[in-house]
């Protein structure tokens, strides 16, 4: 079957290339981790992925978020340093905000007896709580590290934005869409317009 026979929305992996189609325009791009991140976000609209989880999943490794931090080095070059906290102040605020969002999500899921949604919320709450616990030592003091979360945030953001620009060279309309609808930071997500969802095929 020819995947380009219609004008649907494609983000399709074929060997070492991605076939990407949006509003009748198509691109064939060599596979990269940035495109892998985008594909994962597009498959899960509205879900927020912490950068450590994103790195771990795109690298194809099943590990907890805390262990996934060791994979961040493969996303960018440069020596490790031990001059900063595991999580800076901004990261800790975002972690705690995300934890509260998940708490609300869990309450809603339990209220509507949605066990799958509740389980997802519990799992992510546990991962966020573990990352916070690893970042803060006895007495609330920051543990020192190379600020792995910040390094991963910087690398993932750069790769996603580079991939969006690569797509835009061939499919400008999709670059415009992704630039508005993809959020990067410590938590990354794809948030299509609620009244104009995109039916991606993978």
Confidence label for 70 from pLDDT (cuts 50, 70 and 90): very low
Out of 40-49, 91-100, 129-138, 160-169, the most confident range is: 160-169
Q: Which residues pair with 17 in a beta bridge?
A: 14, 30
What Å distances lie between residue 183 and 33, 90, 152, 157, CA to CA?
Answer: 17, 16, 15, 9
Residues in the chain: 202
Instruction: Report H helices in the chain.
Output: 33-43, 51-58, 65-68, 89-111, 115-135, 148-170, 172-181
Instruction: Note if the pTM is more than 0.75.
Output: no
Report how far residue 168's alpha carbon sits from residue 59's, in angstroms, rounded to the nearest whole number: 24
Q: Give yes or no for a contact between 159 and 75, defined as CB atoms under 8 angstroms apart.
A: yes
Residues 150-158: what's their mean pLDDT?
88
Residue with tokens 């869409």, as numbered in its chain:
177
Confidence label for 153 from pLDDT (cuts 50, 70 and 90): confident
Nearest to 87, CA basis, from 114, 66, 109:
66
Residue with tokens 């899921």, as numbered in its chain:
109
């Amino acid at each position: 079957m020819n995947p380009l026979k219609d004008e649907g929305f494609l983000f399709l992996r074929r060997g070492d290339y991605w076939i990407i189609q949006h509003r009748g325009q198509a691109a064939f791009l060599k596979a990269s981790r940035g495109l892998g991140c985008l594909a994962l976000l597009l498959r899960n609209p509205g879900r927020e992925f912490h950068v450590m989880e994103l790195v771990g999943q795109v690298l194809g490794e099943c590990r907890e978020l805390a262990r996934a931090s060791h994979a961040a080095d493969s996303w960018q070059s440069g020596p490790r340093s031990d001059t900063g906290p595991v999580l800076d102040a901004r990261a800790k605020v975002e972690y705690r905000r995300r934890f509260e969002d998940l708490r609300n999500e869990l309450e809603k899921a339990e209220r509507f007896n949605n066990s799958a949604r509740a389980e997802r919320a519990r799992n992510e709450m546990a991962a966020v709580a573990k990352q916070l616990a690893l970042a803060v030592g006895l007495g609330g003091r920051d543990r020192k590290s190379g600020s792995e979360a910040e390094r991963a945030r910087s690398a993932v953001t750069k790769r996603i934005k580079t991939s969006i620009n690569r797509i835009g060279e061939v499919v400008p309309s999709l670059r415009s869409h992704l630039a508005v609808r993809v959020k990067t930071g410590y938590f990354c997500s794809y948030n299509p317009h609620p009244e104009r969802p995109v039916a991606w095929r993978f």
